[in-house]
Amino acid sequence: MINDFSALGLSEAITKIARTNGWGSPTPIQSQVIPLILGGHDLLAIAQTGSGKTGAFALPIIERLLTESLRGADAKPIALILSPTRELAQQLTQAIQSVASPLGLSVATLIGGVSIALQAKALSKPIDIVIATPGRLLDHLRRRQIELSGVRFLVLDEADRMLDMGFLPDIQCIVKHCGSDQSRKKLQTLLLSATLSDEIRNVARQFLFNPQMVRMNANRAAVSVNQRFYRVPKSAKPLFVRDLIVDGQLRQVLIFVRERRQADALFKDLKADGFRVDVLHGERTQAARTNVLKRFKQHEIDLMVATDVAARGLDISQLPAVINFDLPPNSEDYVHRIGRTGRAGKDGVAYTLVDETQGYRLQALERFLKQAINVEVPTAYEAFFKHHENQSAQAKPGESKFVSKSMSEKEKSTPTQRHRAQKQAMRGKPETRSRRPDPRSKQTQNESVQFDYVLPDF
């Protein structure tokens, strides 16, 4: 095991700054990646969240900027780091500036929700490293406020997340601008991801030249996190979350909710109960999002309700607990959510609430984690779930035997889903003349439709 960054080929100046910033010994991913980047290789690195990927690429890039005397000119950065979200870009900026600024290197951040004029002003000065979200970087390219012909180091951080968010066309456009015709062969591209999917392999083939690959315990939940699952009716979740926090005497809790409307509703419920709480999602202004995260990190609020905008990359030191208000549709996002706790060698706990509609997602997560999940059923909800299981067991032939939608959920489904369900129910029956249903008629409690979640392939 390597105990010092200098043993990886980094200078004493950078090693000293790393120690000052609390980066004591290299993590396993850093021990493998740093020598490869110093050696000039393109890289595909797959590692779970919280493994130290930022230091793995930032430290050797800064080392090479210094030792090879590579400095940026006006609007001509040497290193470009792409990030999927504003929050992650800001966090990358803080981490990289803490090393680069003491060594005389300049860093600029280009993200949405912030004045583009102020960013353009920053680009008018010599800049060495640019950290950007793809959309805002393209805005600057269209306005000709930035020139990427001098880029020698290109980093695609959290690449799987960028693909999930539909950024591939933007990335393709940006890559075409990186490096001049003469220097493009010198462009070193680093692709970092928490997962290794077919899409990531395709992107690697597009952008990387003869890359080295490092893969470390990807796609699986962190062992330092105690994972607890509770079966809770959907309607009872807000009350259960409140009781879980009070009874467990939880402090500094990040609560993940899938949808913005749910996040706002839960925030209002918790605030009405007297908790110090705020909410973080994509509909809030960038200033508000930054302020919420700052207050949470500084313990000015105890609870932060957030959509998956906070699931990737955010480093909140000593976060003791995470609550999943629901299971995310993508099992990989579950790993990223719980990865916000149990970081840097600390223990953490993740509570996950599984309601009556999420049987398929639970099965998908078991397949993904390659282990059975023990789901506790609180005594207060035993009768509810027993009744629900009885209803599911009475499902008609051809319908799902795992999960049946309740009437309230069916009524909330989209017209397209209702139409699909009606067509499904008519299969095998003689053709009859369509007739508008009587709104006064009542449907039986046992009526069910096929669950509309498709079990993903892993």
Reply yes or no on whether the pLDDT at 325 is more than 60. yes
- Rounded to an integer, the average pLDDT of 79-99 is 92
Question: Alpha helix locations (H) across 10-85?
Answer: 12-20, 28-38, 53-67
- Mean pLDDT over 25-34 rounds to 90
| Separation CA 16–CA 456 (nearest Å) | 46
pLDDT category at 91 given cuts 50, 70, 90 is confident
- Give the type of residue at 389: E
Does pLDDT of 453 surpass 70? Answer: no
Looking at per-residue confidence, does 95 or 406 come out higher?
95
Where does 196-270 show beta strands of DSSP type E?
212-216, 225-231, 253-256
* The predicted structure's pLDDT at residue 231: 95
Q: Is the pTM of this model over 0.85?
A: no
**Strands in 234-374 per DSSP E:** 253-256, 277-280, 303-306, 321-324, 348-354
Q: Does 437 have pLDDT greater than 50?
A: no
Mean pLDDT of 109-133: 94
Is the torsion defined by CA of 292, 295, 300, 301 positive or negative? positive
Phi, psi of 353, rounded to the nearest 5 degrees: -100, 125
